[in-house]
Amino acid sequence: MKLPHPFIGGASPFGRHLDGVKRLEDAGCAAVVLHSIFEEQITEGKLGHVRHMAADDEQFHEALSHFPASRDYPMAPDDYAAHVSKVKGAVGIPVIASMNGSSAESWLRFARVLEQAGADALELNLYEVVTDLSAPGVAVERQLTGIVSDVKRLVKIPVAVKLSPFFTAFGNMAHQLDQAGADALVLFNRFYQPDIDIKTTTVVPRADLSTSAELLLRLRWIAILYGRVRPSLALTGGVETPADGVKAVLAGADVVQMVSALLRHGPAYLTTMRRGLEQWLEWNKVSSLGEVRGRLSLQTTGDPSAFERAHYIRSLHTWSR
């Protein structure tokens, strides 16, 4: 995709309604990722199962009670596909559909439905907290690369893969996804952690908006991967200010996804982000993003591992009260 600037709308409540997507387009968003449809929605709607558990089987009642009821999701699978088609017909910016899941199973065929609905690209949000203590890391990685390979065989549109950073060797995971055919890597999925209510002694879901405090992990891995893998690199999470957007580009990001800042300040905040980037380019007498993209990456660093280790030690030594 050829975009006029790097700022796009990430998967968020804005994508649930045509009006929300139009607001992003009117504010100058370069592209939009629609809200995710979940693996569990698709399998329940098509097969009546959630994670291989029959929704109407009493023995699975307790396990399934933790999942939202089908009526609580914004859209059923067929409605989501129709929404993609409706949005695509109403806006001029690229529309990226989003599928959220963790298994290489039949639900992935829905990717073809979304392509036929008119999606310009597909974002695979691969989110899973592996609680099986017997599952080796290599098996988890094999499953994720299998998902990407399967989807790439199903569709012709670009496929982006949204990941968490929790791998023993994330660089190798990125390399494997590159080989599996991923067209872009989106770094990183936020790790939503339920809280504990000590009054009711219950576990409660919690989703807070991100801040710049979450940016540094993303910057480091964008900088490490830039120029060393084929897929485009998208940064998501922790982009709150124009300076954060500039940092993302310097690290090597092709695209900067925004969600929390737009929910906090409104779609018009995109103008602030774009102006901030343009002013920085002017101040530094830079005519194009290509001149500075990846300037602070590790692409030309002789020993990236030593570089990271050295800055870790320097960080500890420079701390003071």
Convert 219-266 into a string of H (helix), E (strand) and C (coil): HHHHHHHCCCCCCEEEEECCCCCHHHHHHHHHHCCCEEEECHHHHHHC
Q: Categorize the per-residue pLDDT at 63 as very low, low, confident or very high, splitting at 50, 70 and 90.
A: very low
Residue 57, pLDDT > 60, answer no
| 8 A C-beta contact, residue 235 and residue 184 | no
Three-class secondary structure of residue 7 per DSSP: strand
pLDDT tens per residue, range 153-198: 999 999 999 999 999 899 999 999 999 999 999 999 988 788 899 9
Confidence at residue 61, expressed as pLDDT on a 0 to 100 scale: 45
| 8 A C-beta contact, residue 257 and residue 235 | yes
Q: How many CA atoms lie within 13 A of 208 on its CB side?
A: 11
pLDDT tens per residue, range 209-243: 999 999 999 999 999 999 999 999 999 999 999 99
Point out the least confidently predicted range of 17-31, 44-58, 137-151, 222-236. 44-58
Residue 233: name the closest of 206, 246, 251, 247 by CA. Answer: 251
Residue 109: name the closest of 39, 181, 184, 176 by CA. Answer: 39
Confidence at residue 313, expressed as pLDDT on a 0 to 100 scale: 79
What residues have CB less than 8 Å from 55, skipping those under 6 apart?
44, 48, 49, 64, 70
Confidence at residue 73, expressed as pLDDT on a 0 to 100 scale: 59
Residue 33, pLDDT > 50, answer yes
3-state secondary structure string across 20-56: HHHHHHHCCCCCEEEEEEEHHHHHHHHHCEECCEECC
3-state secondary structure string across 171-204: HHHHHHHHHHCCCEEEECCCCCCCEEECCCCEEE
Confidence at residue 58, expressed as pLDDT on a 0 to 100 scale: 58
- Side chain identity at 107, as an amino acid letter? W
Between 170 and 40, the more confident residue is 170
Residue 38, pLDDT > 90, answer no
Q: Per the structure block, which two tokens stand in for 291?
A: 């001149």
pLDDT tens per residue, range 238-271: 999 999 999 999 999 999 999 999 999 999 999 9
Q: For residue 79, what is the enclosing H or E element?
A: helix 77-90
Q: What percent of the chain has a predicted confidence (pLDDT) above 90?
A: 66
| 8 A C-beta contact, residue 157 and residue 94 | no
Residue 300, pLDDT > 90, answer no
When pLDDT is averaged across residues 66-86 and rounded to a whole number, the result is 76
Point out the least confidently predicted range of 30-34, 65-69, 84-88, 138-142. 65-69
What are the residue boundaries of the structural domains of the chain, listed by start?
7-317
Q: What are phi and psi of 142, to 5 degrees?
A: -65, -40
pTM over 0.85: yes
When pLDDT is averaged across residues 269-293 and rounded to a whole number, the result is 95
Between 77 and 69, the more confident residue is 77
Confidence at residue 67, expressed as pLDDT on a 0 to 100 scale: 53
Between 104 and 52, the more confident residue is 104
Q: Categorize the per-residue pLDDT at 60 as very low, low, confident or very high, splitting at 50, 70 and 90.
A: very low
276 exposure class (CB count in 10 Å sphere: 0-12, 13-18, 19+): middle
Average pLDDT, the chain: 88
* Candidate CATH numbers 3.20.20.70, 1.10.490.10, 3.40.50.300, 3.50.50.60; the one for domain 7-317: 3.20.20.70
**Greatest alpha-carbon span in the chain:** 67
Confidence at residue 77, expressed as pLDDT on a 0 to 100 scale: 85
Confidence at residue 59, expressed as pLDDT on a 0 to 100 scale: 46
Q: Per the structure block, which two tokens stand in for 74?
A: 């914004």
166 exposure class (CB count in 10 Å sphere: 0-12, 13-18, 19+): middle
When pLDDT is averaged across residues 298-302 and rounded to a whole number, the result is 85
Residue 148 CA to residue 160 CA, distance in Å, equals: 9
What residues have CB less than 8 Å from 64, skipping those under 6 apart?
50, 53, 55
